[in-house]
Structure 1
């Protein structure tokens, strides 16, 4: 099989360098993986990403493409369209992989096909979250790294033909969230099975939590609520309602935990800053999720009400 690693990126040049260098260090068995390419799609970055790439010749596997800022869904579609491989791997540009990453996906795909007697499969690797920019792959696995997602593009390998048969990503998902899980619903309808591949490890880097990030995080939750409603409009099922938190259960849960929104970015700021000063930014972020989820639920219901008015 020949891999095309499709990576959308937007203003992530520092961590993208680590991402690309790790992919250039892959150890593969030529009898199983005939080769690979890295298809980088710049979604209109303003940080000089492509200019930097042109100045560096140590990325022989990379082919880059540029589009106006349209979102990750459109960027991944362009990557698939330009890919030469029969098998597509999706990762994000802030993911740093180990040297056996591609080989692990290849072995899992072959074993899964043999065990199930079908090629209607895809592999899902492990994603470990880390704030360690200098040495991201040193982060141990944590219980908070567990994901029950069926199809998430942070670390997944799938035959190109199934992506094309499904119709690729819906480019109406221009804002944050859900474009990959929505595609996953369509892949499931085609009968594809998920094969877990914990040996294909990717380390998802993000900066340590700080109070300055809160406005952006709140905006992302509101965007995720809007895109969640689009997800539900396409697939009006209880499973999707649960995923996007558009149920009375979630409304009550986060309403109670946030005391009706009284525990918010303003009232919790002193506690969050104290935890950050104590060297516990991860704990501070988990506490911040109380009001972030409340914003998400509020955003879902506001977007749904607006959509109902238009119909």
Structure 2
């Protein structure tokens, strides 16, 4: 029984980090109806930035989220105005292709700067664990969960308690309606995209402590984050949290009781099941066709 509870709690811990990794992508979709395929590359870019800063300064990599988050915010803002806005105003479906191409470019830049060899960030507590009732929990995982909880709380408060957040919510509901009440939709889209990429900045720093990474790791993370938002409900931030926890717990239990090899397949099995049973996801809602084009 202790093995089950340990696997369950480990799944909940990693689920918090998954939530942060997926929240930015879901925010962008909720506001712009664009699946940001470049999000996986942004996560890995943040992981490499964390690695370089940690290697050069020795600062705790989890504390480096205060640097990587605003850095990726700027990257998101710039790439939106240079690439995403133009493609989206030409043809909304082209934005998907643009983000795919942007992701390839970011991976290429990463490979040119850092190479293709795997990297990892190993602070002093990387191999340390807490012992609770005979169960052991990695300190890196616990600390990462705490940081993810703080960042997600901050994102929630930003969206619920600030004028920018209310503008983002109004634009997500209807861009035309937002214009009618005086919201600058163009700037709101840019802000939502930049905040979504900034969330990848925080998530990448946390993931760099938990997993080895290389440029091609972006493909794994875009697949995982897509699985999370499809399961939880595309456009629903609470759905991101729920979907992340469900997938992380399923991965942990599968790895413990079946095989780590099968755990890799869990997100993709989740996509298939959800698309068949409940296409809008656990917390998603069906959109009318005319609303989906707003």
Same-fold status (TM-score > 0.5): no
**1 or 2 for the larger relative contact order (CA 8 Å, sep ≥6)?**
2
Q: Of the two, which has the highest radius of gyration?
A: 1
Provide the TM-score with structure 2 as the length reference. 0.26
What TM-score results when the alignment is normalised by the length of structure 1? 0.25
The answer to which structure has the higher strand fraction is 1
Structure number with higher helix proportion: 2
